[in-house]
Amino acid sequence: MAQSRDTLERYRQKREARRTPEPIADEARREQNDGPIFVIQLHDASTRHYDFRLEVDGVLKSWAVPKGPSTDPRVKRLAIPTEDHPLAYADFEGVIPAGEYGAGTVLIWDRGHYRNLKEDNAPPSVAEQLADGHATVWLEGEKLRGGYALIRTRLEQGKDWLLVKIDDEAADARRNPTSTEPESVRSGRTLEQIAAEEDQDGNGH
C-alpha cells in the first residue's frame, strides 16, 4: 500500500483542502461484495472531458478521456493517465472553484462495479495488466456494460493509452451515450444544472 500512499500524495499536493470540496483524505470504503468499483465523471474543466477511474489496490487509477467512452468496438478513444485519486472521489459531484486545480463542474456520468476479464488459472491482476500496458475489464454500470480494454500506446514512450470497447454482446455501434445520456446517474442533473444550483447555494459544495 506504500505505492498507493505515494500516488495519493501527488493528488493532495495539487489541491487546497480549504478551498475545494473534493475529498482530500484517503477515506476507506466499506467492503463491497460485488467487486471493485469504477466511475466515469464528466468534467467541465478548461477542456470538457470524461474521467475514467478504476479501483485498483486501494486507489482510483484514472485517465482523462477527451471524447468519452464509446460502445462501438471500431472506435479507439484516447485516454490520458492522470494522478491516482482516493476512493472517496467516486462519490464526488459538484463544482471545483475557479483558480483551483481542475476548476469546473463535475458530475457522475456512470458508475458500478467491474471484474477482471482474464480467466486463466492464475490470471494477472488488473494492476499487473496495467503495468504491462494492456488491461481488459468487464463493466457493470448504469450506462455502460461489457468488456473494455485499456491499451498503452507506443508513441511518446507510451505515456498515453487507448480505451476500446471489446466486441461482445454488449457492443452497440448505434449507441452514442455521451451525446444522448448527458445526465448524472447520481442526481439526474446536467452539468449546467449542477453549476447553477451550486452557484445559487453560494458554497460550491
In this prediction the pTM is 0.88
Tell me: the pLDDT tens digits for 112-148? Answer: 999 999 977 788 999 999 999 999 999 999 999 999 9
Strand partners, 82: 62
Tell me: the pLDDT tens digits for 177-192? Answer: 999 999 999 999 999 9
For 9, the 3-state DSSP assignment is helix
R_g over Cα of the chain: 17
CA separation for the pair 187, 189 (Å, rounded): 5
CA separation for the pair 50, 107 (Å, rounded): 10
Note whether 188 and 107 are within 8 A (CB).
no
For 111, the 3-state DSSP assignment is strand
Note whether 70 and 165 are within 8 A (CB).
yes
Residue 20 vs residues 72, 105, 184: alpha-carbon distances, Å: 36, 12, 20
